[in-house]
Structures are given as structure tokens and as C-alpha cells.
Structure 1
Amino acid sequence: MSFTVNSDARPIRAGLALLWDRFWDWLARPMHYSAVHEFRVASESGDPVSLAALLDPAVAVVVDAGEESDSSIRVVGGVGDAVALLVHGMAPRPGLVIEERSVNGQAGLMLNHGDEASAAITIDFTGHLISAVWIRLRAQRLRHWNHV
């Protein structure tokens, strides 16, 4: 008995893999977007207790000033310091608009002053808690961010 391999099997497998990836993204995306929404609301409200409840005890906030040198990157660790930085940076002020957007293909935030993007924020999770907040400054480097 001879067995022939169907040459159409590879495109079907690739199509099924792509379908699964899109389904998983569709399933997980609402959870991340709602967690990012909670994070935005807690940060903007200035309520340190609400914000701290969302953070992993070992949370890290990484701020990249967007300059060429490595010294433009700062890391703040721990809930207390992270809360202080986030509440200060996201406090309501004239001209500041914080939008929930996809940033680099994941749930994130864009901070805008007028029509200028001033920061992009992405958030990593460990379980249901926020383990890392990545903040990228410098509008000129944010010109090419993508909508999803």
C-alpha cells in the first residue's frame, strides 16, 4: 500500500495555526484591556490604595526617556515608589489626554499633550497583577506607533 502526502496539508495547518492565534488573541485581549482600563482609572484618580491593589509586590516601572544613551533609562521598583511615580505622571493637568490604545500589539496607553504623543505605556502581567509598566517618552520616537 502506498501513501501519498497531500501537498495542501501545510497551508491548512498554517491556516489553522493562524486561526488559533487570532482566536486566542480575541479571547485574552478583553482581559488585558479591562486591566489596563482599571490601571488608567486608578492612576488618574490619584488613589494610591486602588493603584497599589493592581500591582505585584515586585512591580517595576521602566521609564525610557528616548535618548541615545543608556543613562536615559530609569527603573523604579516596589509598590510604594511605583505608585508615587505613576500617580504623579498620570495626574490630570491641562492638555493631558490619556487614551487606551494598542501599543506594539498589546493593551496600552498613549499620553498626549494637544496633538503630540508624549508617552507610550505598555503593561506586563503576572497572573492578574501588574508586574511591569514600560513607559517610552519622546514624541519624535513615537511617530510610528500602530493602531490595532
Structure 2
Amino acid sequence: MNTPSEPGHDRTEPDLSAVVGERRQLINLAYRLLGSLAEAEDAVQETYARWYAMAPGQRADIVSPGAWLTTVATRVCLDLLGSARVRRERYVGEWIPEPLPDRTEWIGGPGGGREEPADPADWVTLDESVNMALLVVLEAMTPAERVAFVLHDVFRYPFPEVAGIVGRTPAACRQLASSARRRVRAAQVPTAPRAGQAALVRHFKEAWEAGDIAALVGLLAPDAVMAADGGGAVGTALRPVVGGERIARYLIHFAGRAPGLVLLERTVNGRPGLVARYAGVTATVAAFDVDGGRVTRIWAVRNPEKLRPWTEDRPLPR
């Protein structure tokens, strides 16, 4: 990656716009690796800090700034993944990846009408590689498996390049990605048609608003599971709620404690989901897993630290 300049050759630093232009790619990569927008921001900030800490001559010697930044960002994420496992073992209740909205659903559209988005969430491309079901599976992988899978299967880096980034052999990276794929297949991450899921989520919303337990039970798989993430900051179930009827009763009880609760259909990590707002503030963002025409999983994020892209200063349209 670093190539010495030839004797007598004038070295010039890489074009600043090209270096800064890598930020979108880095945020996308770091979010998929970490499952947290806040941690992804920190990782990218650290990456750029290391870039600008180098002497101008060192930066000029780097043939591909994009490759250098990607390598450093990935290694920073690897370090964060190792420490995150320890932190999440002490986390209060369930830890769920940070949900992201579709920026087109905000008032004023992308970046509120600004030329460049102000919120890092605006940088993340929402596709199947960030649906909540897959992010949850990624959380169960080892850091090495997760990095190999994301770099190769999501960002299409060839294994020799992956090996250079993570410091392992191409064969080892190939094995790590293969192991990660087996985890994904075992978890049966769904690929339900978006339109079908949207209709199911709409019916779910209507039944919840009506307080219709029977209707909710009919929309939930008998063995459905709901996990909630409050992070100890707000009250919520500390363990997953299992069973369609138990989930339905829990949701009706939750709504009963918050009169005036407003439910909105919104895109959550690229898939149809729900946002619950209370007293004008986003209280919960829910992502859904659908299979066989029924809801099989609900991930309800309530931790205010994870709802920054959904907060009052970026209002959702009615």
C-alpha cells in the first residue's frame, strides 16, 4: 500500500476531496461491522485521525488512500468488536443493533434539503445487508468471521485483499467467510417480499391500535419472539418475550400505559417497521422478521442512545 517515491520525484499529497469522499464507504463498512452508528462514527473518526497524524510525505507515499483508509477502519473495528463483546456482557437486558431510518421519510428529504447530509445515518445505504435479522446473526459471529463475511460477501473484496486487511492468509479468510455463511443459513435470515411484509406490518399496527389481542395473535407465529433493548435507561422487558399470545398481551399492556401513543409505519434498516411516538418523542423503533405470512421476530429498540436518528430534531412526517 505504501510505495516509496522515486529519487528526485516531487511528491504531492492525495487530493483532499478524494480522501474525504471515502467517508460514505467507511461509514457503511463500519456500521455493518459494528451494528452501531455511534461506534461506526468513532471508528471512522479514529481512521481519519490516524491519516492526518501522518507527515505530509508519508501521506504522499500512499498509492491508494481509499485502500489505506479501508484497511485502518477495518482494523479499528476489529479492536472495537473485541472490546464490545465484554461491554455487551454487562449490558442491561438485550443488546439489539442500532436501527436506522430511510432518510427519504424525513421532512425535507435527504439532509433536510442540505447539499450534504448532516446526520451520519444519511450516509448508510439501506439494503438487505443491514436488515435487522442479518445484523443480529452477525452479532453472534466471531469478530474475524464477521469481518471476513462483510468484506467479501457484502463489499465484494477478493480474499487476497481481505487477507491483506485482516492480516490472515486468503485460505483462512475463505474459511472464516464460509463459517459465517453457515451461521446465516442456520438462522434462516428471511427474504420475504417487501410488499408482503409492509401489508403484514400495517395490519399489525391496526390491530395494536385497536387493542385487538385476538387479531395480534393471529398475525404472530405461535413461537414468535420479541426482544426489547432499553439499555437500563428506560423500562422494558429484560428477557425476550416468547409466544404470540404473550407478545400480544405485552404490547396491549405497553400501549395502555402510554395513552396517546402514536404508531407510524416507517422503514427500519431497509425493511417495513413501526415507530412508536409518545408526547411527540420517539419511544420505540420496531423491526420485524416475517415468515409464512406471520411475524416471527420483533426487535424493539427503546434505548434513547440508539434512537438519535429518530429523535425530535429530525421529525418524522405524519
- Per the normalisation by structure 1, the TM-score is 0.70
CA contact (8 A) 2:222 2:245 kept: no
Partner SS for 1:144: helix
CA contact (8 A) 1:111 1:117 kept: yes
Q: Which amino acid aligns with 2:194?
A: R
Superposition deviation, residue 49 in structure 1: 1.1
Quick check: 1:127 aligned with 2:275? Answer: no
Work out the CA distance in 2 between the residues paired with 1:86 and 1:143.
23
Quick check: 1:107 aligned with 2:272? Answer: yes
The equivalent of 1:13 in structure 2 is none
Superposition deviation, residue 73 in structure 1: 4.1
Equivalences for residues 56-95 of structure 1 within 5 A: 56-67=221-232, 73-91=238-256, 93-95=258-260
Q: Which amino acid aligns with 1:90?
A: A
Structure 1 gap segments, 5+ residues each: 1-20, 22-26
Partner SS for 2:308: coil
Partner SS for 1:98: strand
Deviations 1:36-76 (A, max 9, x none): 000011112111111111111110011111349xxx74201
Deviations 1:111-131 (A, max 9, x none): 112331111001101211110
Q: Which amino acid aligns with 2:247?
A: A
Percent sequence identity over aligned pairs: 29
Structure with the greater alpha carbon radius of gyration: 2
CA contact (8 A) 2:286 2:299 kept: yes
Q: Which amino acid aligns with 1:51?
A: L
Equivalences for residues 15-34 of structure 1 within 5 A: 28-34=193-199
Work out the CA distance in 2 between the residues paired with 1:39 and 1:50.
8
Q: Which amino acid aligns with 1:104?
A: N
Work out the CA distance in 2 between the residues paired with 1:47 and 1:92.
16
Which among 194, 198, 201 is matched to residue 36 of structure 1? 201
Q: Which has the higher strand share?
A: 1
Q: Which amino acid aligns with 1:45?
A: A
Highest RCO, 1 vs 2 (Cα 8 Å, sep ≥ 6): 1
Structure 2 gap segments, 5+ residues each: 1-127, 129-191
CA contact (8 A) 2:204 2:216 kept: yes
Work out the CA distance in 1 between the residues paired with 2:256 and 2:200.
19
CA contact (8 A) 1:98 1:110 kept: yes
**Alignment RMSD (CA, Å):** 2.7
Q: Which amino acid aligns with 1:126?
A: D
Q: 1:86 to 1:142 in 2, by over 3 A?
A: same
Q: Which amino acid aligns with 1:107?
A: P
Q: Which has the higher helix share?
A: 2
Q: 1:124 to 1:82 in 2, by over 3 A?
A: same
